[in-house]
Amino acid sequence: MVVAAILVPCLGGCYEPHAPSHQTAQGTSSFVVGDSAYEVGRVLHRDTTAMLFGAWDVARTGEGYVLSDSRNDRLMLYDHDLALARELGREGSGPGEYRFPTALASDGRRIAVLDKNLARVSYLTPTGEFTSSQRVRPSPSDIALHPRLGLLVAEDASPAHYLSRYADGEPTAFAGIPTWLADDSEGAFRLRTDLVAATPDGSVHVLDGRRLVLASYAETGAFEQAAFLPDPMRREKIDRQYGLVDALGGPGRVLSVQTASQLQSLPDGRLFVRITWGRVIGYLLNPGTLEAAPVLVPAGRGPDRMSGSTVYIDGEPDLRIFAATDEEILIARLVPVGES
């Protein structure tokens, strides 16, 4: 993913450039790249006819996959063989209409669709039938569906919490931010770019988009642990974030910089974080062992178009990767390095 920045006019004076921060806290862990790594193997299915404009997120349904085509204001439902089953939605603010559908979540019973421009979450059946919608607070960055907690939204509403939990339509603050991860943007307003996922054991995980650290919580909301993404990738990405902010006039002019684009839960309890670094297009993270397994594009091919794609790792019945760009969609095997 290309690092994206949102700018605002310089109000009340600009900020001086500042040095990158690699602050850590005593007892904080880091994910470590171990012996395991995966690469994209044989392509099983490919579609070059979709004509997408802003492929943003992918979720699995009982019938296959759902893809948000954000700038076309629609959703695309595919079966497991990548045959198009349905196109859903159109531009508008009514039921089943969208004005920039982005993040998706599915719990097997329903699909949740975040519309950033409308600050709204719509609920669909697994086959795409609209059932209901609810408003969320402005500037949401991601959503997750928890089997007992319901809808969790990563948003800016509470400076002391990463998330809001929406129960019966009303938000309550959830997942308190540890003090050492508190915002350090020198008083400037910054839109968060945090990501959220819930694993099968009920834990809730937030990827702090500025610090590139995974904060994990019990379903009670109690903080459990925080682990930085692996270095040297993390250090390089944070240096680039700060360098970009300084080059564009400082934190008073930059509303947000997004480096990681997706956080996904797998059935085995691992998480996939979508972040590009050389041949790496993401990492499979094990919160229990703190091992990070890189996911790589094939050797000899270079990053190519997959580096900018929207990705979903399908863990059932075997590891596969669903990757979508505006030009093509493919499903390929994901295999241990050396076995492709």
Question: Going by C-beta distance under 8 Å and a sequence separation of 6 or more, which residues neighbour residue 322?
Answer: 58, 65, 311, 312, 313, 314, 329, 330, 331
> What was the pLDDT predicted at 42?
92
Q: pLDDT per residue over 85-112, tens digit each? A: 999 999 999 999 999 999 999 998 999 9
The answer to whether 123 and 159 have CB atoms below 8 angstroms apart is: no
Tell me: pLDDT of 190 over 80. no
> Is 50 exceeded by the pLDDT of residue 241?
yes
Phi and psi angles of residue 9, each rounded to the nearest 5 degrees, phi first:
-60, 150
Task: Tell whether the torsion through CA atoms of 211, 217, 222 and 223 is positive or negative.
Answer: negative
Tell me what pLDDT residue 338 has: 75
Residue 188 has what pLDDT? 54
Residue 4: pLDDT above 70? Answer: no
Q: Is the pLDDT of residue 11 over 90?
A: no
Q: What is the pTM of this model?
A: 0.90
Residue pair 107/147 in contact by the 8 Å Cβ criterion: yes
Of 2.60.120.380, 2.60.40.10, 2.120.10.30, 2.60.120.10, the CATH number of 28-336 is 2.120.10.30
Give pLDDT, residue 304: 59
Q: What is the pLDDT of residues 109-136, one digit of tens each?
A: 999 999 999 999 999 999 999 999 999 9
pLDDT tens for each residue of 303-314? 456 777 899 999
Mean pLDDT taken over the chain: 87
Q: Which of 90-94, 152-156, 286-290, 299-303 comes out lowest in average pLDDT?
A: 299-303
What's the average model confidence in pLDDT over 275-303?
89
Q: Other CB atoms closer than 10 Å to residue 25's CB: what's the count?
A: 11
Question: Do 64 and 73 touch, CB atoms closer than 8 A?
Answer: no
